[in-house]
Structure 1
Amino acid sequence: MLDTRKEIERRLLALRGLDLSDVNRAANMLTLGIGPLREVKNFKGVPKHVGQWALHVQCAWRLERAGNTVATRQDLCGSDKEACATADRLRELLVQNGPTVVEAVSASEAGGLELALSGGLCLVIVPDRIEGSEDWRFFARGVDAAHFVIEGGKVDPASLA
């Protein structure tokens, strides 16, 4: 039987020691670029610079510093203007004022994830655990390989292929 916690930690161990290189959003999904920037082409063939790794978070999350909440998923659920302002604020905090380094990765059996970051920050990801609903995904940017996906609080079996 798959140990979800160990599998998450094994997969995301690659992030230890890497800087956050981008913070963005797509609707209310938090998107993080992690690692050195490299050039890839978007779906239109236009070059863009992205982090080596991507973490896309569609479930509940919060960014904490010293036990205080800095931002949450709810901050991306307001108007487009409010969500853009939140993404800009997070980008400034985590990238532009950085570097913000991933210092440690820990996971839960319920598909949760904590990224301990430099500067006393911690990103806490809490799966919604709704069957058939994607919680978060992790993948190498610009590489044709399976994404590691947590869906309904469990590892999506297609992630293990």
Structure 2
Amino acid sequence: MIETRAEIMRRLSALVGLDVSWVSHAADMLTVQFGPQRRYTLRGREREGGAWALHVQCDWRLEQGGGTVATRDDLRGPDEKAHSTANRLHEMVVRQGPVTVENVEADDAAGVVVSFSRGYRLFVVPDGVEDDEDWRFFAPGVDAAHFVIEGGKVVPESES
């Protein structure tokens, strides 16, 4: 049996010391990349991505100095709203950066708090809905299993 908190801490500890290199979205999913951007080929197409990626499909909020900068709701609704939010976040934490991961904390419900330089903190709060993906962590362009949280639990196929 997987100890959720310990496994999350083990996996996400790879982020400590890395800069945020990209922030975007796919529909209402927040996508954040960490580490230097590099080129790779996926399904025959040339792509660019960071060393690590975090895709968040559950509730999240980004705070700075205790104030809320953005939430999942900011990516919901019209495409223009989502694009505007993603662009604003990218500008804040990449272009005006660097913003570096300083610490990662996790809880037994697969919630995560990523603390960054410049007073930023990303709170990821799983929905706990069975068979509903909350978030995933992976190395883009690397042929390895993604670390996936569904329903507030580690997906067994994520073990490796």
Structure 1 length-normalised TM: 0.96
How far 1:42 sits from its partner (Å)?
A: 4.2
Q: CA deviation digits over 1:90-115, x for unaligned, max 9?
A: 00001010011000000010000110
Question: 1:46: how far off?
Answer: 3.4
Q: Which residue of 1 aligns with 2:31?
A: 31
Deviations 1:60-108 (A, max 9, x none): 0000011111000000002100100000000000101001100000001
CA distance in 2, matches of 1:145, 1:49: 17
Matched, 1:154 2:143: no
Q: Give ranges in structure 2 of 5+ residues lacking alignment.
A: none
Structure 2 equivalent of residue 68 of structure 1: 67
Gaps of 5+ in 1: none
- Within a 5 Å distance, the mapping from 1:47-126 to structure 2 comes to 47-126=46-125
Structure 2 CA distance, aligned partners of 1:21 and 1:146?
22
SS at match of 1:40: strand
Query: Matches of 1:2 and 1:145 in 2, distance apart?
Result: 19
Question: Which portions of structure 1, spanning 4 or more consecutive aligned residues, are displaced by more than 3 angstroms?
Answer: none
Residue 2 of structure 1: SS of its match in structure 2? coil
- Give deviations 1:13-46, integer Å, cap 9, x for gaps: 0000000000010000000111111101244x33
AA at the equivalent of 1:41:
T
Q: How far 1:3 moved relative to its partner?
A: 1.7
Are positions 1:139 and 2:138 aligned together?
A: yes
What is the count of residue pairs matched by the alignment? 160
Matched residue type, 1:65:
Q
Instruction: Indicate if the aligned counterparts of 2:61 and 2:70 stay in contact, CA closer than 8 A.
Output: yes
Q: TM-score scaled to structure 2, two decimals? A: 0.97
SS of structure 1 residue aligned to 2:50:
strand
Q: 2:119 and 2:105 mapped to 1: Cα distance?
A: 15
